[in-house]
């Protein structure tokens, strides 16, 4: 451990504190629209108020920790895999929303995640992902009769 030469304000920690404060404000604003209907019930407002107070106190606590530089040390971060995985998820969500079914998107998510973890064979992984999607569709959709979003490909099976 390095002894504290000069403790700097942890900007990320400060951002966390501000986010918590924003969340507290949101909960407070939301409960202000509720009505208390029954005189014998504590009403729906009490719990949100408790949560607001708690979040505000914790925002202060996290803020103090950020100012004192008390946050745990963080390693360097590689952003590319994060974008790849979230990108794959976004494509999957978009394809399902557009009514294309889940198989194409699932194959893309599989290949994107594999790439994020260092594979360099996107097309092969795309095929593996497609195979996995078919397998899961047969298992869940046909065997366990769960409803999965169907597009043109799913109707062929």
Partner 1 sequence: MEAFFSLANGLSVAIQPMNLLFALIGVLLGTAVGVLPGIGPALTVALLLPITFKLDPAGSIIMFAGIYYGGMYGGSTTAILINTPGESASMATALEGNKMAKAGRGGPALATSAIGSFVAGTIATLGLTFLAPYLVDIAIRFGPEDYFALMCVAFITVSATFGDSPIRGLTSLFIGLTLGLVGIDILSGQSRLSFGVPELYDNIEVTTLAVGLFAVGEALYVASRRHIEEEKLEPVRGSLWMTKEDWKRSWKPWLRGTLFGFPIGALPAGGAEIPTFLSYSTEKKLTKYPEEFGKGAIEGVAGPEAANNASAAGTLVPLLTLGLPTSATAAMMLAGFQQYGLNPGPLLFAERPDLVWGLIASLFIANGMLLVLNLPLVGLWVKLLAIPQPWLYAGILVFATIGTIAANPSPVELIMLAVFGVLGFLMRRFDFPIAPVVVGLILGPVAESQLRRALSISLGDPMVLLQSPISATLLFIALVALVAPFVLKGLGRFKAVED
**What is the C-alpha separation between 106 and 153, in angstroms, rounded?**
12
Q: CA 96 to CA 92: how far, in whole Å?
A: 6
Site for partner 1 contains 44 (CB under 8 A): yes
Least gap, CB of 45 to partner 1 (angstroms): 9
26 lies in the binding site for partner 1 (CB under 8 A): yes
Torsion angle (degrees, nearest 10) of CA 20, 21, 24, 26: -100
From the list 20, 100, 104, 154, which residue makes contact with partner 1 (rule: CB under 8 A)?
20
Query: What is the smallest separation between the CB atom of 25 and partner 1, expressed in angstroms?
Result: 12
State whether the Cα torsion 119-79-77-85 is positive or negative. negative
* CA atoms of 91 and 87, how far apart (whole Å): 6
Q: Residues 46, 127, 138, 157: which binds partner 1 (CB under 8 A)?
A: 46
Instruction: Enumerate residues 77-106 that contact partner 1 by CB under 8 A.
Output: 77-79, 81-82, 84-86, 88-90, 92-93, 96-97, 102, 106
Distance set, CA 67 to CA 3, 8, 11, 14, 58 (Å): 17, 7, 9, 8, 14
> d(Cα 116, Cα 75) in Å, to the nearest integer?
18
148 near partner 1, judged by CB under 8 A: yes
Residue among 101, 108, 102 at smallest CA distance from 123? 108
Using CB under 8 A as the criterion, what x/- string covers residues 108-127 for binding partner 1? -xxx-xxxxxxx-----x--
Q: Is 27 in the site for partner 1 (CB under 8 A)?
A: yes
Smallest separation, CB 23 to partner 1 (Å): 6
Q: Which is nearer to partner 1, 70 or 152 (CB)?
A: 70
* Contact with partner 1 (CB under 8 A) among 2, 5, 76, 123: 76
């Amino acid at each position: 451990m390095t002894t504290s030469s000069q403790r700097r304000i942890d900007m990320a920690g400060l951002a966390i504190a501000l986010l918590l404060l924003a969340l507290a404000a949101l909960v407070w604003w939301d409960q202000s629209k509720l009505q208390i209907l029954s005189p014998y019930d504590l009403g729906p407002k009490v719990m949100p108020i408790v949560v607001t107070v708690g979040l505000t106190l914790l925002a202060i606590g996290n803020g103090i920790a950020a100012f004192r530089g008390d946050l745990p040390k963080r390693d360097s971060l590689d952003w590319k895999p994060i974008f790849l995985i979230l990108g794959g998820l976004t494509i999957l969500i978009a394809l399902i929303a557009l009514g294309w079914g889940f198989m194409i998107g699932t194959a893309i998510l599989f290949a994107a995640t594999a790439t994020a973890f260092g594979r360099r064979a996107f097309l092969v992984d795309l095929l593996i992902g497609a195979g996995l999607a078919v397998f899961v569709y047969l298992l869940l959709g046909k065997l366990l009769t769960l409803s999965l979003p169907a597009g043109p490909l799913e109707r062929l099976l």
